[in-house]
Amino acid sequence: MAEEKKLKAAKPVKEPKLADPVASSIDLATQIMIKRAQELGVETVFDRNVKMKPCNIGNQGTCCKNCAMGPCRLPLPKGGIEGEDERKGMCGATANTIAARNFIRMIAGGAAAHSDHGRSVAEVFMSAARKETDAYKIKDTNKLLSIAPYLEVATTVEVDGETQDRDIDEIALEVAEKALNEWGKAEDELLYPKRAPKALYEKWKKAGVLPRNIDREIVEIMHRTHIGVDQDYKNLMKQGARAAIADGWGGSMLATDLQDVLFGTPYPLQSEANLGIMKEDHVNIIVHGHEPVLSEMIVAMAQKPEIIEYAKSKGAKGIQLGGICCTANEILQRHGVPVAGTFLQQELAIITGACDAMVVDIQCIFQNVANVAKCFHTKLITTHPIAKMEQDNVIHIEFDEHHALEDAEKIVRMGIDNFQNRGSEVMIPKQKATQIAGFGVESIKYHLGGTFRGDYFTLNDNIINGRIRGIGAVVGCNNARTRHNEAHIQVVKELLKNDVIVLTTGCNGIACAMEGLLTPESAAVYCGPGLSEVCETVGIPPVLHCGSCVDNSRLLLAATEVVKAGGLGDDICDVPAAGSAPEWMSEKAISIGQYVVSSGIYTVFGATFPTSGAPVFHNYLCKEMEKIYGGMWDYEPDPIKHAQLMIAHIDKKRKALGIDKARERVLMDMADRQALEA
Ligand code: BF8
């Protein structure tokens, strides 16, 4: 009988779906480490990408889950909408209303993240101004004096009828008070938007989008998008624009300025980028997140001779710090600390087996780094009270500015002590590239004219004479739904080839660094003849790395300087410039996109766009918005077409300015110049 029993065919064992390393990233180090992770059976975001599809309706922006009668899902019919769009949620909300609500909730999330970061910095700034902490001091008094007037803080005093310099400590204290007030003041309007060109400020005033205070604009988005409140996509977007301006010209700008005063305004310096910066014979500490308040202390601690000696006593040759995400950009631009990788490389840094501690603060941290850390000896340390992880291998060391150095020492020593616990299986990819980073409003000015003649006029002059066709601001995240870094690099290279100088921040900055685009030498390789000539003459890379994502505020101020220098119109929207986020993924990117658009800049996003399910609303963002702000959104996932859209917009602006015809180049001698001046 037993033999008669049919043997059940064993079910075929399903191989787990794994990512194709080459299809996942253009970067060799990343490809090597994805393969390594798969050999070790450690799952990464690249594998999850092939296992899980994104929700199609969420992707279109037309799923409303703002009340318990839903979620109401309004996908776009396959053939599009013919005739009237009759899609409605339970309450009657249209696809436009739902997509606009979702879109501005993303702005609220992004603006909150940037601005709350700014608030934390302002609180530390206040402690420093009150001299409550030894760890933080007012480092850059020039920057303090330059921002004080914008916060309506006097820098001079009248004594016996004479104007004298005001005490710097007094200025710092009042700047701290005024800055903190910007988050929740009861009256008036935000102070920094007055830094924008007058024409733009007036435009905002007319449109009714001047922010009152930072927190209020974010709260109002949550109110308006509650069921049964604002049901007009144009009115919803008005608030979206207002909150985004409160981010770019408020929370983010304050974060940048106060960080510069506390830690120093960046100037160009040389460093390296990619996983190859990690060293097998060193203690590797990776700092990841966004706020430089903690990482500044870790940098200081890791350089102390007694701490280096301590590392040596444990058998290491020294301490190698490396950064991931925007914390990386912060300590890169001020200290030259090398960058270990982009947003998508955070798991891979641990998979090297050489990461003795990963210290995280806020934003863009995968919860999966805790699962990956479990497979290795890595100590994963969370440090911020608002950003903890549920996994039990995560250590929480709460960081406080009042005992900042002690906290930093504890963390660094923990990394050092962990060096001896490494397994034998260390594998660090060799790839790394040299980069020059640390550009900003001040350093660009300096580079263009030195200490005495520093001005943006040289840049304007080169845009007017056509050597530089225009300015591209290429920024933002990586997105595992697209091939890592491919769109970033293709967009940037296409712009350079067409003589468009590129300003970068965030993970695009890291991608460009890994690709070797942040060196002056790359100009001769990738740029058109005009841009190449300018870069060679001035000695700058064709891609200027301007810092972290809150430092997109530097780009707003750089654009303002271009307007001030003259010859390119009287508003930011007149300048031949365009923005781009080829691989965006975060809510912060949407907030940035909106404040850039609201500041007059045409901005193209790649990857995906969360309004495709509501064509009328999408059209409003991509066409109608230009009539209000001079800038508008666009979406193009193909990188070359994406860059070409930007170039076409730049050309449109050149034509409007009457600088679209190539001018004959005339070599002038002194007599010619004198004649001109006369
Ligand atoms: O703030 S670019 S992935 S790291 S969100 Fe995050 Fe995006 Fe990178 Fe910096 Ni900005």
Cα–Cα–Cα angle for 578, 579, 584, nearest 5°? 155
Q: Let me know if 644 is exposed, middle or buried by CB neighbors in 10 A (0-12, 13-18, 19+).
A: middle
Is 343 touching ligand 1 by the criterion CB < 6 Å?
Answer: yes
Which phi-psi region, left, alpha or beta, contains residue 468 (left: φ > 0; alpha: ψ -120 to 50)?
Answer: beta
Return mean pLDDT, the chain: 95
pLDDT band at 9 (very low <50, low <70, confident <90, very high): low
Is pLDDT of 670 > 80? no
pLDDT of residue 393: 98
Q: Which residue from 361, 552, 586, 592 has its CB within 8 A of the most atoms of ligand 1, so it is best to mutate?
A: 586
- pLDDT tens column, 305-327: 999 999 999 999 999 999 999 99
Residue 671 reports pLDDT greater than 80: no
pLDDT, position 367: 98
Whether residue 362 has its Cβ less than 6 Å from ligand 1: no
Among protein residues, the one whose CA lies closest to atom 9 of ligand 1:
326
Task: Note whether 459 and 563 are within 8 A (CB).
Answer: no
545 in Cβ contact with 473 (< 8 Å): no
pLDDT at 446: 83
Hey, what's the torsion of the CAs at 582, 583, 588, 594, to 10 degrees? 30
For residue 1, the model assigns a pLDDT of 45
| Residue type at 243 in one-letter notation | A
pLDDT grade for 157, boundaries at 50, 70 and 90: very high
Q: Is 477 in the pocket of ligand 1 (CB under 6 A)?
A: yes
Which ligand 1 atom is the nearest neighbour of the CA of 325? 4
Mean pLDDT is lowest, of 229-243, 322-336, 455-469, for: 455-469
Q: Provide, rounded to the nearest whole percent, the portion of the chain with pLDDT above 90.
A: 90
Pocket test for ligand 1, best of 507, 552, 587 (most atoms within 8 A of CB): 507
506 C-beta closer than 6 A to ligand 1? yes
pLDDT, tens digit (0-9, with 9 covering 90-100), for 241-256: 999 999 999 999 999 9
pLDDT in tens, 554-608: 999 999 999 999 999 999 999 999 999 999 999 999 999 999 999 999 999 999 9
The two most distant CA atoms of the chain are separated, in Å, by 116
Return the best residue to mutate from 344, 369, 588 for the ligand 1 pocket (most ligand atoms within 8 A of CB). 588
Instruction: Count other Cβ atoms within 10 Å, centred on residue 325.
Output: 31
CB of 379 shorter than 6 A to ligand 1: no
pLDDT of residue 434: 98
pLDDT above 80 for 212:
yes
Convert the pLDDT of each residue in 81-132 to its tens digit.
989 999 999 999 999 999 999 999 999 999 999 999 999 999 999 999 999 9
Element (H, E) at 37: helix 28-40
**pLDDT higher than threshold 50 for residue 220:** yes
Confidence of residue 664 (pLDDT cuts 50, 70, 90): low
Q: Which residue has the higher pLDDT, 402 or 275?
A: 275
Please state whether beta strands 162-165 and 156-159 pair in parallel, antiparallel, or not at all (unpaired). Answer: antiparallel
| The predicted structure's pLDDT at residue 304 | 97
For residue 506, give the ligand 1 atom closest to its CA.
2
Helix, strand, coil shares, percent, the chain, to 5 = 50, 10, 40
- Ordered strands of the 602-605 beta sheet: 543-545, 500-504, 470-474, 577-581, 602-605, 633-635
169 C-alpha to center of ligand 1: Å?
A: 34
Instruction: Give the contacts of 390 (CB within 8 A, at least 6 positions apart).
Output: 367
Share of the chain above pLDDT 70, in %: 95
Long-range pairs of 39-42 with CB within 8 A, sequence gap ≥ 24: 40/351, 40/375, 40/425, 42/347, 42/351, 42/372, 42/375
Residue 450: pLDDT band (50, 70, 90) is: low
Regarding the beta carbon of 299 and ligand 1, being less than 6 Å apart is answered no
